[in-house]
């Protein structure tokens, strides 16, 4: 059920700021407003300095909605930043930020929460990717229309049991890079760096002897040799979006972005796993942008470039992540909810 916040009866405009230091759009300042609605297990309470979002013990799913018609096309290279306080009752490790366009496409970005031991300390939580690169979503989420956004949300984990208890302070979009969290030993001359370099020399390196001879097998004195490493035994990998490797479902703008995506991946990595295309549900049901042929073509593209490919988890927990045929079978089987979850 939706709970409508009576405080706001009209849409609130976002405040945009551009400067030499960067580009920023403030979506909400919760010292002055609340969410328009909450749903499922989420409730909101206005408190000094922010809005508290909470859910009952053992209930982590729900959301808070801000209804705002926004054109974010010029902010596609910005990150979402949420300033919030993780309170002592919180058990969740993350929230999702979601943008939904007027056609119902909903794209999401994960926000990792600070430890609840940092009670009452406001933390700036940055999404790891820009608005141009959402990490997951609903429906045809990878074709989200940033120019026609209808609302945005903070969401818990679907079917999650970890209680939410946070105080939202501010939400904004920015193209400025996060400063990061300093830690003991971050200094360039920290002792551990010298010790690590010694271990690298002893464990990760070996002598390379090159003998240069002429056509008769005689040594060539003072020969100049240049060695350039083109590959390494250690695997550096990443998840990749299958359809971006093979230009499936791409519009003209995405074709250029996909080309850069592929080029950067080959430059940086020598191993990969398909992000979602090999998971059981999308593999069997051809969901959204997923199809078996796209997955097969993406694996072939990686192998053609001598990039190691790893499969994905065979089973993900939760009924909604199973193939439709298995969901129907569960509906026809008189099992208890606990039995189905096993």
pLDDT per residue as tens digits for the range 120-137 = 578 889 998 899 999 899
164 and 306 inside one domain:
no
Residue 213 lies in a domain: no
Which of 174, 193, 222 is the last residue in one of the domains? 174
Domain count, the chain: 2
Contacts of 65 (CB under 8 A, 6+ apart): 35, 36, 37, 38, 39, 151, 152, 153
pLDDT at 1 over 60: no
| Per-residue pLDDT reduced to its tens digit, 50-85 | 999 999 988 889 999 999 999 999 999 999 999 999
pLDDT at residue 104, as a whole number = 93
pLDDT at residue 7, as a whole number = 31
113 and 20 inside one domain:
yes
128 and 258 inside one domain:
no
DSSP state of 128: S
> What is the full DSSP assignment across 129-144?
S-TTS--EEESSGGG-
Q: What are phi and psi of 10, to 5 degrees?
A: -135, 160
pLDDT at residue 205, as a whole number = 87
Residue 179 lies in a domain: no
Average pLDDT over the chain reads 84
166 and 294 inside one domain:
no
Residue 204 lies in a domain: no
H runs (alpha helix) in the chain: 191-199, 242-245, 252-268, 280-285, 292-304, 324-332, 337-341
- Residue 145, both tokens: 């229309």
User: For residue 255, what are the domain limits?
Assistant: 237-341
Please compute the mean of the pLDDT values over residues 30-45 and round it to a whole number.
94
153 and 18 inside one domain:
yes
Which of 174, 194, 214 is the last residue in one of the domains? 174
29 and 126 inside one domain:
yes
34 and 148 inside one domain:
yes
Residue 219 lies in a domain: no
67 and 163 inside one domain:
yes
Residue 81 lies in a domain: yes
27 and 165 inside one domain:
yes
What pTM did the predictor assign? 0.53
The answer to whether 79 touches 129, Cβ cutoff 8 Å, is yes
Q: What are phi and psi of 20, to 5 degrees?
A: -65, -25
Residue 186 lies in a domain: no
Please compute the mean of the pLDDT values over residues 311-325 and round it to a whole number.
73
Higher pLDDT, 69 or 206: 69
User: What distance in Å separates the CA atoms of residue 255 and residue 86, rounded to the nearest whole number?
Assistant: 40
Counting residues of the chain whose pLDDT is more than 70, the rounded percentage is 83
| Per-residue pLDDT reduced to its tens digit, 258-310 | 888 999 999 999 999 998 888 887 788 776 667 899 999 999 999 999 999 99
pLDDT at residue 46, as a whole number = 94
14 and 140 inside one domain:
yes
User: What distance in Å separates the CA atoms of residue 85 and residue 66, rounded to the nearest whole number?
Assistant: 19
Which stretch of DSSP H or E encloses residue 107? strand 106-112
User: What distance in Å separates the CA atoms of residue 317 and residue 179, rounded to the nearest whole number?
Assistant: 35
Cβ-count burial of 271 within 10 angstroms (0-12 exposed, 13-18 middle, 19+ buried)? Answer: middle
Please compute the mean of the pLDDT values over residues 189-213 and round it to a whole number.
91
| Per-residue pLDDT reduced to its tens digit, 79-111 | 999 999 999 889 898 999 999 999 999 999 999
């Amino acid at each position: 059920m939706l709970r409508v916040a009576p405080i706001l009866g009209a849409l609130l405009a976002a405040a945009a700021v551009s400067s030499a230091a960067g580009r920023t759009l403030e979506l909400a300042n919760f010292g002055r407003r609340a969410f328009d609605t909450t749903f499922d297990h989420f409730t909101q309470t206005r408190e000094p300095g922010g809005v508290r979002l909470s859910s009952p013990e053992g209930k982590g799913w729900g959301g808070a909605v801000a209804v705002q018609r926004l054109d974010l096309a010029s902010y596609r290279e910005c990150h979402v930043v949420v300033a919030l306080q993780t309170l002592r009752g919180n058990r969740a490790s993350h929230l999702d930020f979601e943008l939904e366009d007027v056609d119902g496409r909903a794209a999401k970005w994960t926000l990792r929460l600070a430890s609840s031991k940092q009670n009452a300390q406001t933390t700036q939580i940055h999404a790891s990717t820009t608005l141009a690169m959402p990490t997951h979503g609903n429906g045809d989420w990878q074709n989200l229309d940033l120019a026609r956004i209808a609302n945005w949300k903070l969401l818990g984990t679907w079917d999650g049991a970890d209680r939410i208890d946070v105080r939202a302070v501010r939400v904004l979009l920015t193209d400025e890079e996060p400063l990061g969290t300093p830690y003991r030993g971050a200094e360039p001359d920290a002792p551990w760096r010298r010790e690590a370099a010694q271990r690298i020399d002893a464990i990760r390196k070996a002598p390379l002897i090159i003998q240069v001879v002429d056509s008769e097998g005689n040594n060539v004195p003072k020969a100049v040799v240049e060695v350039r490493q083109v590959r390494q035994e250690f695997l550096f990998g990443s998840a990749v979006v299958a359809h971006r490797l093979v230009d499936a479902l791409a519009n003209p703008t995405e074709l250029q972005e996909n080309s850069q995506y592929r080029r950067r991946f080959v430059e940086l990595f020598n191993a990969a796993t398909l992000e979602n295309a090999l998971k059981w549900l999308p593999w069997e049901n051809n969901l959204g942008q997923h199809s078996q042929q796209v997955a097969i073509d993406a694996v072939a593209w990686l192998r053609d470039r001598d990039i190691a490919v790893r499969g994905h988890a065979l089973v993900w927990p939760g009924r909604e992540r199973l193939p439709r045929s298995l969901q129907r079978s569960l509906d026809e089987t008189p099992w208890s909810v606990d039995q189905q979850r096993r």
